Chains A and B, each alone.
Chain A
């Protein structure tokens, strides 16, 4: 058995974090499964727990100066019902787990769990999300791709907590999301793709493409995207083979109990191709 802390305020939580080597826990939908030992046996946590899911400071969703701020303790089900959350993000969230899990799981939890199959991550990468990390004395703001350093690995320091998730409030006319799971409900992702684009008069003004579950972390390449911005939609369509080759070295999936590396790679290329095909239609949401 381990100790557990349930602070009343964020500053109290940061104080505990500063003084104690502890494990922050919100909904517990990942941690409780990872640490489960069986019926009648307590979970196998090695460190004291710090409950953060109930802290009001971490539960806000608000719009400020061109950014949407989402508290890390916001539940996945709350994201689905909040008008500030982009529809395309809601589409990804709606396909996660099941309603009971979405009523417990938090956005911050999905980020800090840093699973390559985390379903909120491709959107957050594509949307240029930034994270606010605080300790008892300082705060730092960093891009999500700098925070997640590997599978289940983040740059969070032992005295820090994730306190804000910040997304530029932008409207993308073309959005695309597809999750490839083993089944329709309650399924972990074999591969996923989140695409965002802005097209004006047949030319690509902005383009973001993020792939989930096919590499140690979400794959997004600003270099490739920048090389394509400014091109006409038609020329992109014809160049898709070349674009696939650019992504080829980045998409490095594995064989596991749920799928094969070969399938995952092919399906990524299919999704990319499908997204590029849809650019010219410039018609908003797909899937």
Chain B
């Protein structure tokens, strides 16, 4: 049996039967409920806080209750756990109200009055750029861009924009905490138990052996539960310590939307130099990402953004400049694709629009520029692995009948194609720094995986158990995962960056191979493994030179759309996706990722309008913020071409984030094709198309 053949998901039964225990299903003796009192101002000094008389058993928790440092620990630890004297965005946590019933806590929080003195605020990327409110700034180059521009036959300048996106995981954010025998236990919905532990260590000022973080069944995350849970974990832990009660902090959807992190909005400016043969010889890319009020992990989001900005292309001369800006809006954070979908959208649409403006076929134009095995990446790292992008393109053209459709274009119908990649695992030297660990334990005829990688709906539990079961030739039921409890499992690194199958699965495969050779030993035993970066990969984090990623997964999307000539509604009829993810560990699980990624990407590109006005979100509930429903998701055809990766388990590379970058440029190219107008901004809405059409007329 091949590894790719699908098995039943290991978590399907308990989730379908409603037996899975989410954080909201937990129970404690005499728990208190927390409610967060938030800033109503985008930027202000807190002058005074007026508290009502508290009924017995109710508490107010503020910055003074924080035993350790009042900062949420992440890449840049600048977000106060509870506001100090100043607030920087609407929704910023200031106080926590704790009480024995939600009703009581709600009533108390309604009576709290806060006096502010408003301070000048910056709301948009443009304003922030004008005022130079830069958090982080990076640049790198390749070849001799200045000379190349001087020699260019033609220079084209353009600007692209992408908007906010909300994760809309099915289960909103939630945590609970209790103190037992001087150990603080925090339970909740999360991607990264050890990030949470790390944040608690600092906020509580206590060693990690006095802290246990336990992941509960997590109902979706998409990056939204990468760093944000650390903040509310700190809230619950501080409250549990202050009140001597177990506490719950579970957000409603509207609260979750208002205060949780979002995808970074972006502006990306290009200057392209072309030679006489209409080849782009040199590209200058200037990326502006809106980090919101606090920097957080925006630096690494920006890094992936800039390293993905050349997408699948080999531009010989290159200048890349990226900046994160502060605005007084809800902080941006991790979101599937992590900065790459923005820059890939910009570059794919740039390539499409240049081709169309020169009267060239967009696909042929793109194919002239693609990376090949042995080429240097944008950071000068050699592309070691076989690049099968041309085969992916051919398969996608066949499956979608693209050539026929683009030639016989009908009115108000369009077809578009996108090529894209995703760098597998952490950016730069991230994997070397985190050094993921796993333990495989044999007890009689059973095997237990001890890992911190979580199941969050993406299928990691199935895939990782399958890798071990398949290697040991055991039924999957004999291979189980230990609870993701930081007291019981080693730190395999966070469940992010599409690293789980390739990196953690790779460690498990190595351990399982070793276990197989020792299977007949009489005693039970454990095998632990620590990640070792392949020696031929190089990276210099000061100059951004070398292999920004160990390897890449690749994809091609063809989108077919129609436009309603009366309403300008966009109907995405069909998307065809062909992918090289090395090898599928489980085809159905992989297909699920690709279909979901197409839906989420298409939603970001066409439906999901989220704007903020003077720091306040205009679309702040699911009535106004629209993600695709089953009625909106197009017919999807997915296919995979095997291209096994030497260092991945059974040849697997990364998959989860890859499809997020493909659908937006394919869908937008198709809309542009349907109406014959260039498009440079997402989301593309009927409102926008009607304006553009009238302008064209």
Residues of A within 8 A of B (CB): 37-42, 98, 178, 180, 182-188, 257-260, 262-263, 266-267, 270-271, 274
B211 within 8 A of A: no
- State in angstroms the CA–CA spacing of A40 and B174 once bound together: 14
Number of B interface residues, CB 8 Å? 31
Q: Are B567 and A38 in contact (CB under 8 A)?
A: no
B687 within 8 A of A: yes
- State in angstroms the CA–CA spacing of A178 and B623 once bound together: 20
- State in angstroms the CA–CA spacing of A37 and B568 once bound together: 36
Q: Are B632 and A184 in contact (CB under 8 A)?
A: yes
Q: Which B residues, 133 to 162, have Cβ-Cβ distances below 8 Å to chain A?
A: none
Task: Determine which of A38, A188, A267, A274 lies in contact with B623 in the assembled complex, contact meaning CB atoms within 8 Å.
Answer: A188
Q: Are A38 and B566 in contact (CB under 8 A)?
A: no
In the complex, 27 of the A-B residue pairs with CB atoms within 8 angstroms, ordered by the A residue number, are A38-B106, A38-B252, A39-B250, A41-B102, A41-B103, A180-B567, A180-B569, A180-B686, A182-B607, A182-B609, A183-B626, A183-B628, A183-B629, A183-B632, A184-B629, A184-B631, A185-B629, A185-B630, A186-B629, A186-B631, A187-B626, A258-B624, A262-B691, A263-B687, A267-B568, A270-B566, A271-B567
User: In this complex, what residue of B is CB-closest to A39?
Assistant: B252
- State in angstroms the CA–CA spacing of A257 and B101 once bound together: 34
Question: For B686, what are the chain A residues with a Cβ–Cβ distance below 8 Å?
Answer: 180, 263, 267
Interface core residue of A42, A180, A184, A271 (most chain B CB under 10 Å): A184
Question: For A180, what are the chain B residues with a Cβ–Cβ distance below 8 Å?
Answer: 567, 569, 686
Task: Determine which of B565, B571, B607, B690 lies in contact with A263 in the assembled complex, contact meaning CB atoms within 8 Å.
Answer: B690
**Contact count A vs B, C-beta below 8 Å:** 67
Q: Are A38 and B102 in contact (CB under 8 A)?
A: yes
User: Shortest Cβ distance from A277 into chain B, in angstroms?
Assistant: 10
User: Shortest Cβ distance from A261 into chain B, in angstroms?
Assistant: 10
User: Shortest Cβ distance from B256 into chain A, in angstroms?
Assistant: 11
- State in angstroms the CA–CA spacing of A41 and B631 once bound together: 32
Q: Which B residues, 355 to 399, have Cβ-Cβ distances below 8 Å to chain A?
A: none
Q: Are A257 and B618 in contact (CB under 8 A)?
A: yes
Q: Are A257 and B687 in contact (CB under 8 A)?
A: no
Q: Are A178 and B252 in contact (CB under 8 A)?
A: no
B278 within 8 A of A: no
- State in angstroms the CA–CA spacing of A266 and B695 once bound together: 14
Interface core residue of A40, A41, A259 (most chain B CB under 10 Å): A40
- State in angstroms the CA–CA spacing of A37 and B252 once bound together: 10
Question: For A183, what are the chain B residues with a Cβ–Cβ distance below 8 Å?
Answer: 607, 626, 628-629, 631-632
Question: For A262, what are the chain B residues with a Cβ–Cβ distance below 8 Å?
Answer: 687, 691
Given contacts A180-B569, A271-B566, contact A37 B106 (CB under 8 A): yes
- State in angstroms the CA–CA spacing of A7 and B255 once bound together: 37
User: In this complex, what residue of A is CB-closest to B106?
Assistant: A41
- 8 A-B pairs closest in CB distance: A185-B631, A40-B102, A184-B631, A185-B629, A257-B624, A263-B687, A182-B626, A270-B566
Question: For A257, what are the chain B residues with a Cβ–Cβ distance below 8 Å?
Answer: 618-619, 624
Question: For B103, what are the chain A residues with a Cβ–Cβ distance below 8 Å?
Answer: 40-42
User: Shortest Cβ distance from A31 into chain B, in angstroms?
Assistant: 15
Q: Are B566 and A267 in contact (CB under 8 A)?
A: yes
Given contacts A180-B569, A185-B632, contact A260 B687 (CB under 8 A): yes
User: In this complex, what residue of A is CB-closest to B687?
Assistant: A263
- State in angstroms the CA–CA spacing of A267 and B566 once bound together: 7
User: Shortest Cβ distance from A278 into chain B, in angstroms?
Assistant: 11
Q: Scan B164-207; emit 1 where CB is below 8 A from any A CB, else 0.
A: 00000000000000000000000000000000000000000000
Q: Are A267 and B33 in contact (CB under 8 A)?
A: no
Interface core residue of B569, B571, B628 (most chain A CB under 10 Å): B569
Q: Scan B248-292; emit 1 where CB is below 8 A from any A CB, else 0.
A: 001010010000000000000000000000000000000000000
Residues of B within 8 A of A (CB): 33, 101-103, 106, 250, 252, 255, 565-569, 571, 607, 609, 618-619, 623-624, 626, 628-632, 686-687, 690-691, 694
- State in angstroms the CA–CA spacing of A185 and B630 once bound together: 8
User: Shortest Cβ distance from A30 into chain B, in angstroms?
Assistant: 11
Q: Are B628 and A270 in contact (CB under 8 A)?
A: no
User: In this complex, what residue of B is CB-closest to A188?
Assistant: B623
Question: For B569, what are the chain A residues with a Cβ–Cβ distance below 8 Å?
Answer: 180
Question: For B571, what are the chain A residues with a Cβ–Cβ distance below 8 Å?
Answer: 184
User: In this complex, what residue of A is CB-closest to B103?
Assistant: A41
- State in angstroms the CA–CA spacing of A40 and B609 once bound together: 30
Given contacts A39-B252, A40-B33, A263-B687, contact A178 B102 (CB under 8 A): no
User: Shortest Cβ distance from B689 into chain A, in angstroms?
Assistant: 10
User: In this complex, what residue of B is CB-closest to A267?
Assistant: B567
User: In this complex, what residue of B is CB-closest to A266?
Assistant: B690
User: Shortest Cβ distance from B110 into chain A, in angstroms?
Assistant: 10
Q: Are A274 and B106 in contact (CB under 8 A)?
A: no
User: Shortest Cβ distance from A42 into chain B, in angstroms?
Assistant: 8
- State in angstroms the CA–CA spacing of A180 and B685 once bound together: 12
Question: For A263, what are the chain B residues with a Cβ–Cβ distance below 8 Å?
Answer: 686-687, 690
Question: For A187, what are the chain B residues with a Cβ–Cβ distance below 8 Å?
Answer: 626
Question: For A182, what are the chain B residues with a Cβ–Cβ distance below 8 Å?
Answer: 607, 609, 626
- State in angstroms the CA–CA spacing of A37 and B106 once bound together: 9
User: Shortest Cβ distance from B255 into chain A, in angstroms?
Assistant: 8
- State in angstroms the CA–CA spacing of A236 and B366 once bound together: 50
User: In this complex, what residue of B is CB-closest to A263?
Assistant: B687
Question: For B623, what are the chain A residues with a Cβ–Cβ distance below 8 Å?
Answer: 188
Question: For A266, what are the chain B residues with a Cβ–Cβ distance below 8 Å?
Answer: 690, 694
Question: For A270, what are the chain B residues with a Cβ–Cβ distance below 8 Å?
Answer: 565-567
Interface core residue of A178, A182, A259 (most chain B CB under 10 Å): A182
Question: For A40, what are the chain B residues with a Cβ–Cβ distance below 8 Å?
Answer: 33, 101-103
Interface core residue of B250, B618, B626, B694 (most chain A CB under 10 Å): B626
Using A38-B106, A184-B629, A185-B630 as known contacts, list a sample of 18 further A-B pairs with CB atoms less than 8 Å apart, ordered by residue number in A: A37-B106, A38-B102, A38-B252, A39-B250, A40-B103, A42-B103, A178-B566, A183-B628, A184-B571, A186-B629, A257-B618, A258-B624, A260-B687, A263-B690, A266-B690, A267-B566, A267-B568, A267-B690
- State in angstroms the CA–CA spacing of A184 and B602 once bound together: 14
User: Shortest Cβ distance from A187 into chain B, in angstroms?
Assistant: 7
Question: For A188, what are the chain B residues with a Cβ–Cβ distance below 8 Å?
Answer: 623
Question: For A258, what are the chain B residues with a Cβ–Cβ distance below 8 Å?
Answer: 624
Interface core residue of B566, B630, B632 (most chain A CB under 10 Å): B566
Question: For A184, what are the chain B residues with a Cβ–Cβ distance below 8 Å?
Answer: 571, 629, 631-632
User: Shortest Cβ distance from B572 into chain A, in angstroms?
Assistant: 10
User: Shortest Cβ distance from A179 into chain B, in angstroms?
Assistant: 9
User: In this complex, what residue of B is CB-closest to A187?
Assistant: B626
User: In this complex, what residue of A is CB-closest to B627?
Assistant: A183
Question: For B568, what are the chain A residues with a Cβ–Cβ distance below 8 Å?
Answer: 267
Q: Are B567 and A178 in contact (CB under 8 A)?
A: yes
- State in angstroms the CA–CA spacing of A125 and B328 once bound together: 46
User: In this complex, what residue of A is CB-closest to B35?
Assistant: A38
User: Shortest Cβ distance from B585 into chain A, in angstroms?
Assistant: 33
- State in angstroms the CA–CA spacing of A178 and B569 once bound together: 12
Interface core residue of A38, A187, A262, A271 (most chain B CB under 10 Å): A38
Question: For B106, what are the chain A residues with a Cβ–Cβ distance below 8 Å?
Answer: 37-38, 41
- State in angstroms the CA–CA spacing of A188 and B626 once bound together: 10
User: Shortest Cβ distance from B567 into chain A, in angstroms?
Assistant: 5
Question: For A185, what are the chain B residues with a Cβ–Cβ distance below 8 Å?
Answer: 629-632
Question: For B255, what are the chain A residues with a Cβ–Cβ distance below 8 Å?
Answer: 38
- State in angstroms the CA–CA spacing of A257 and B694 once bound together: 22
Question: For B630, what are the chain A residues with a Cβ–Cβ distance below 8 Å?
Answer: 185
- State in angstroms the CA–CA spacing of A257 and B566 once bound together: 21
- State in angstroms the CA–CA spacing of A40 and B690 once bound together: 44
User: In this complex, what residue of A is CB-closest to B569?
Assistant: A180
User: Shortest Cβ distance from B37 into chain A, in angstroms?
Assistant: 14
User: Shortest Cβ distance from A119 into chain B, in angstroms?
Assistant: 15
User: In this complex, what residue of A is CB-closest to B101?
Assistant: A40
- State in angstroms the CA–CA spacing of A38 and B566 once bound together: 39
Q: Are A39 and B102 in contact (CB under 8 A)?
A: yes
- State in angstroms the CA–CA spacing of A260 and B687 once bound together: 7
Question: For A38, what are the chain B residues with a Cβ–Cβ distance below 8 Å?
Answer: 102, 106, 252, 255
User: In this complex, what residue of A is CB-closest to B174?
Assistant: A39
User: In this complex, what residue of B is CB-closest to A184?
Assistant: B631
- State in angstroms the CA–CA spacing of A39 and B385 once bound together: 51
